[in-house]
Amino acid sequence: MSDALKLAPPIPAPRAGQRFTFSGLVGSADAALIAQSALRYRSEFSVMVVFCAQAQEAQRLLEEIPAFAPQLKTRLLPDWEILPYDHFSPHQDLVSERLATLYELLNGSCDIVLVPVTTALQKLGPPGFLSGHTFFFRQGDKLNEAALKLQLQQAGYDPVSAVMRPGEYS
């Protein structure tokens, strides 16, 4: 643990339903406190979820926490950045980042997940849906072309003659 993290008193171990509120934290003190707490209770809890009032605050913490605890894997579950009644889809990069974060959360491969409150208020699909629609390829794998096309179409990919953007295959 770095010397910077030893300056603040640790947060006591949380119990079910308990919440902590801190005020008067200046600069990156909140990032240091989160990092210290995640390190201290890493063996007791699989993941620490931090709810942020604003998406910008979550993004700032994503950038600052590694300065205090680079060994922790911190992920952001970003907001869709569209309104519920908008007639267009969220940006593909946001969709990809959300899926990657949810996949890591499902597999226990992240230590801290930062969630803006607006994101936390939205429903998520069941974990089984994500695990059932996730696939990986490794160099040297032999693939069945027909099965792969079907799997890609079921996952929402569009068949095209030439791939121009994410979400397409040829």
Closest CA to 153 of 139, 167, 132: 167
Q: 22: pLDDT confidence band, cut at 50, 70 and 90?
A: confident
In a domain, 60, yes or no: yes
Looking at the structure, tell me whether residues 107 and 27 fall in a common domain: yes
Looking at the structure, tell me whether residues 105 and 142 fall in a common domain: no
Contact 160, 170 (CB under 8 A): yes
- The whole-angstrom separation of Cα 4 and Cα 10 is 12
Per the structure, the complete domain to which residue 141 belongs is given by 135-170
User: Tens of pLDDT along 49-91?
Assistant: 999 999 999 999 999 999 999 999 999 999 888 887 888 888 8
Looking at the structure, tell me whether residues 114 and 93 fall in a common domain: yes
Looking at the structure, tell me whether residues 25 and 86 fall in a common domain: yes
DSSP 56-85: HHHHHHHHHHHHH-TTS-EEE-----S-TT
In a domain, 166, yes or no: yes
User: Tens of pLDDT along 118-159?
Assistant: 999 988 888 888 877 777 778 888 888 888 888 888 878 899
